[in-house]
Amino acid sequence: ADCQPDATFFIAVDVEIAQRRMRARGSTKADRMEQQPLEFYQRVERAYRELAAAEPERIIVIDGAADPEKVEQEIWTQIVARFGKLLPRGH
């Protein structure tokens, strides 16, 4: 009911880039979500951008067009900034 995550990561990436990356994975068969038309992805992106604008303290927008390693590093940077006190010492 009133349960919400403390943080939500929205990895914003252009639909064409996302589709190119999915194709580059190779022989895996596209799942139900990956088979959706371009308009579906555009509606989903628009909805997430609206949520991010409405809840900027909770929804963290990450530039998904960057190299996957940079995306991962940015996510970890945000996690440590928000929840670093919860990590065991030395991490």
Cβ pair 11, 71 in contact under 8 A: yes
Distance from C-alpha of 27 to C-alpha of 64, rounded to nearest angstrom = 23
User: How much of the chain, in percent, has pLDDT values that exceed 90?
Assistant: 47
Residue 52's nearest CA partner among 12, 4, 1 is: 12
Asked if the model's pLDDT at residue 21 lies above 90, the reply is: no
Q: Which of 38-42, 51-55, 82-86 is most confident?
A: 51-55
Contacts of 52 (CB under 8 A, 6+ apart): 10, 59, 61
Q: Is the pLDDT of residue 27 over 60?
A: no
Report pLDDT for 28.
67
